[in-house]
């Protein structure tokens, strides 16, 4: 028996009022809908959820609009260090890489870690050696570094701080003041990308990829490559991909918490997404968003910021895109 497929992707959460370094909303919408169409084509041919989320995140990594793969932000040394993770809901196998350089598509390297099976996460030089063994596509540094990321790093260094993807120094100051005084809206965008899927066989999968924070310390690891924090998938509950301040998502074991709302509370995808974000806010005043597909193929999304770039196809229906 075949089931209706569902797919949801995201390109980051935050406020979209201050996109100094971004294309306009039309470009984001076109990108999201194009990737959903590519995912639909695969799902209608019977491809697995695992293959589909990898492919969709590949496309997000290849687009310099997003902070993943090509166009990733730069660390304090002016280098790209990328994180990615992928998880299969049918058997809860997972693969992740962190602090990787030179790898064109970190999510595909994470997939190789999953398939190899001995480990769940490989880091830095070890991950690069594994990439060479797997004959992963490698690129010179120049491939990943785009001009506006260089300007962002200069701005962050001048301000003496780390910054979010596409965030300006004055925006960062506003963010800190808001943290101290209220939960007022903050003009910022968080650049992790991700996908969640249910295929026609009822199997779930999720994938997440990112370049991290502008001017981050070298070797910094956020939530993206950590199973249960930035990504989670289990056929008994749901598939989850998160985006936001990684440290907050690590401390709340965010993606597993969302899954637990399905498991223990019986919530659907939208209910679990909303409950997860409320938990994030209540516990750590957290900023970010999440996409979810539950075991019944229902899609959900929620965020504590004013915007979440995402699009979805629910139960084989029409494709939708939403930036708010």
List, by residue number, the catalytic residues.
Answer: 192
State the CB neighbour count (10 A cutoff) for residue 39: 27
Task: Compute the distance between CA of residue 251 and CA of residue 108 in angstroms, rounded to an integer.
Answer: 27
Task: Compute the distance between CA of residue 322 and CA of residue 324 in angstroms, rounded to an integer.
Answer: 6
SS3 per-residue string spanning the chain: CCCCCEEEEEEEEECCCCCCCCCCHHHHHHHHHHHHHHHHHHHHCCCCHHHHHHHHHHHHHHCCCCCCCCCCCCCCCCCCCEEEEEEECCCCEEEEEEEECCECCHHHHHHHHHHHCCCCEEEHHHHHHHHHHCCCCECCHHHHCCHHHHHHHHHHHHHCCCECCCCCHHHHHHHHHHHHHCCCCCCCEECCEEEEEECCCCCEEEEEEECCCECCCCCCCCCCCCECCCEEECCCCEEEEEEECHHHHHHCCHHHHHHHHHHHHCCCHHHHHHHHHHHHHHHHCCCEEEEEEECCCCEEEEECCCEEEEEEECCCCCEEEECC
First to last CA, the chain: 36
The widest CA-to-CA distance across the chain, in whole angstroms, is 59
What torsion, rounded to 10 degrees, do the Cα atoms 21, 26, 27, 29 define?
120
């Amino acid at each position: 028996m075949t089931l209706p497929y569902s797919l949801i992707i995201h390109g980051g959460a935050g406020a979209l009022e201050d996109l100094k370094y971004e294309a306009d909303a039309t470009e984001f919408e076109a990108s999201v809908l194009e990737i959903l169409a590519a995912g639909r084509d695969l799902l209608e041919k019977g491809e697995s959820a695992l293959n589909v989320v990898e492919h969709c995140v590949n496309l997000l990594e290849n687009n310099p609009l997003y902070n993943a793969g090509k166009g990733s932000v730069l660390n304090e040394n002016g280098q790209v260090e990328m994180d990615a993770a992928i998880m299969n809901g049918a058997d809860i196998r997972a693969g992740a890489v962190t602090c990787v350089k030179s790898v064109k598509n970190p999510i595909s390297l994470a997939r190789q870690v999953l398939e190899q099976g001995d480990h769940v996460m490989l880091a830095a030089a070890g991950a690069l050696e594994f990439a060479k063994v797997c004959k992963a596509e490698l690129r010179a540094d120049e491939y990943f570094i785009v001009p506006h990321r260089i300007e962002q790093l200069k701005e962050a260094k001048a301000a003496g701080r780390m910054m979010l993807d596409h965030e300006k120094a004055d925006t960062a100051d506003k963010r800190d003041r808001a943290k101290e005084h209220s939960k007022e809206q903050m003009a910022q965008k968080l650049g992790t990308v991700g996908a969640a899927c249910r295929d026609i066989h009822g199997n779930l999968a999720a994938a997440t990829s990112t370049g991290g924070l502008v001017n981050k310390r070298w070797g910094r690891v956020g939530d993206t490559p950590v199973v249960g924090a930035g990504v989670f998938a289990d056929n008994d509950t749901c598939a989850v991909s998160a985006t936001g301040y990684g440290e907050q998502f690590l401390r709340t074991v965010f993606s597993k918490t969302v899954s637990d709302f399905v498991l223990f509370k019986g919530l659907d995808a939208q209910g679990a997404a909303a409950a997860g974000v409320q938990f994030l806010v209540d516990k750590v005043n957290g900023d970010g968003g999440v996409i979810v597909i539950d075991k019944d193929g229902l899609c959900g999304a929620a965020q504590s910021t004013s915007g979440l770039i995402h699009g979805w196809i629910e139960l084989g229906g029409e494709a939708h895109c939403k930036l708010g």
